[in-house]
Chain A
Amino acid sequence: MNCEQARQLFDVYLDGELPSGLATELGAHRVQCARCRQELALMEVTSHIVASDEERASLSPEFSDRLIACLGEQTSGRLYRFRRVLYIAGPFAAAAAVLVLSFSVFFDRDQRVAGEKVEIGPASVATAESPSDASTDRAAPTPRGDRTVTDDPEAIAARQRREAAEDAIDRWVRQTAQRGSALSQALDLTVMQLLDMLEAFEQSQEHESHFPGAGAVTPLGQDQTDQLGDDDIEDL
């Protein structure tokens, strides 16, 4: 084995992965060649020194506390943004909920006031021919076209009740929308006042970061890693 051949096996030999035959051959060359002997000894010492790394420098004792404090500031920042979104979107969600609730309450109340079961819905309102009646002489539903609506008193009464119900629904929807709008405006004003108070409070609490020059913290993104190619690093 010559020096060039031996040098090609140094890495594998130092990692202890050289097959025993080649390891014996390299060991014999090492005994005979001073230069290869020195290089191998140098690498053994170097790897030992790096592995043992006896440097005593360590992080400051309050490192963990400072870091937790920084994390707290990060979390409250995110929480503030979440609350802000909630405060702005909340009133609209509340108004929609009030509208739906009122709608359902109205229908239930209207059914109780009318004293009879009226099926509410676009299809049923459009096609209701006769009311359902709890009494024994219940009139069977009559298909459309079998009667002349203007002549039948029951049909006329049914139509009038239906129109009254529709008018009542329209009035209630308008009133609820107005009330919802007013409520939404009132909530908006309250939210704006609350946000102003929150901003004033946070400005009074604002302080410098524990680590000067730390800069903004952003999650590590692929665009950041892509910017640091090995070619750039080689220039350092």
Chain B
Amino acid sequence: MTVDTAGVDTMAGVAATSQEQALERRLVRRARAGDRQALRELIDLHKDRLFAFVRRMIRNHHDAEEVCQDTFLKAFAALDTYSTQYRFSTWLFTIGYRVCLNSMRRKRALTGEVDFAALPLHSEETPEKVAESEDASRMRQAVWEAVQRLTPPQRAAVVLYYRHEHSCLDIARVLQLPEATVKSHLHRARARLRDLLAPISETDLNVFRNRAGLAG
């Protein structure tokens, strides 16, 4: 007899999500009535995830924090327009994404060219001599620098999809785009990342994959 643990986990996950959504609805209701404590709880519940997303869109720490503040202020000013049919985080990310774009337009923050040739990862003489943490660190740096070179919608789609595990439908709501367009952005982002990271050798990739437990 086999136990459907996946089903149990799914049910537990669904129950946890429902509880979280119920808590959100209660907090929003109280916040609309002017309850400061509810506002603080909503902030504490979402600020880290929002910052993680914004930080990957805007690399400057101070600017990212400012964007987060503006996002919350706009969200609470327009709280009466929030519909509980969507998750509060989705709505918050929608506002955050637009505030990011406003910020980028103002500052014209273009990422510079990355000289992948200068990175030792693609060199065949150093992988065995470099410590594991440095190797992995350089790999991560290379990947994030490549992500920074994507267009904002592509970057947002990649970060929301992989980092925040949003579905394409949720990403479509955040970016206010059709779902098909989101899938197109993801597809083009992956192709672009493949091109940018092509100098990385298969050896380095396999070393990283083995150590990260991805091989198989």
Binding site for B on A (CB under 8 A): 10-11, 14, 34, 37-39, 41-51, 53-55, 57-60, 63-64, 66-68, 70-72, 74-75, 211, 213-215, 217-220, 224-225, 228, 230, 232-234, 236
List, in ascending order, chain A residues with CB within 8 A of B78's CB.
219-220
A42 CA to B198 CA, complexed, in Å: 8
| Cβ-defined contact, A45 with B40, below 8 A | no
With A64-B44, A71-B76, A219-B78 in contact, is A50–B163 under 8 Å at CB? yes
Q: At the interface, yes or no: B114 with Cβ under 8 Å from chain A? A: no
Given A41-B209, A49-B140, A53-B52, A64:B186 Cβ within 8 A: no
Q: Mark B46-68, 1 if CB is under 8 A from A, else 0.
A: 01100110011000010001101
Residues from chain A with Cβ under 8 Å of B205 in the complex: 38, 41-42, 45
Residue-by-residue, is B143-174 near A (CB-CB < 8 Å gives 1, otherwise 0)?
11011000111000011001101000000000
Is B72 on the interface with A (CB-CB < 8 A)? yes
Q: If the complex has contacts A42-B197, A45-B208, are A37 and B202 also in contact, measured as CB distance less than 8 A? A: yes
Name the residue in A48, A49, A58 with the highest tally of chain B Cβ atoms < 10 Å from its Cβ. Answer: A49
**What 7 pairs across the A-B complex have the smallest Cβ distances?**
A50-B162, A219-B78, A41-B205, A49-B143, A51-B162, A38-B202, A217-B73
Q: Can you report 25 residue pairs joining A to B where beta carbons are below 8 Å apart?
A: A11-B186, A41-B202, A41-B205, A42-B194, A53-B52, A53-B56, A55-B52, A58-B48, A59-B51, A60-B65, A67-B73, A71-B36, A71-B39, A214-B69, A215-B70, A217-B77, A218-B77, A219-B74, A220-B98, A224-B98, A228-B101, A230-B153, A232-B105, A233-B151, A236-B105
List, in ascending order, chain A residues with CB within 8 A of B56's CB.
Answer: 53
Q: Whole-angstrom distance between the alpha carbons of A49 and B147 in the complex?
A: 11
B18 in the interface (beta carbon within 8 A): no
Interface residues of B (CB under 8 A from A): 34, 36, 39-40, 43-44, 47-48, 51-52, 55-56, 61, 65-66, 68-70, 72-74, 76-78, 81, 95, 98-99, 101-102, 104-105, 108-110, 139-140, 143-144, 146-147, 151-153, 158-159, 162-163, 165, 176-177, 186-187, 190, 193-194, 197-198, 200, 202, 205-206, 208-209, 212, 214
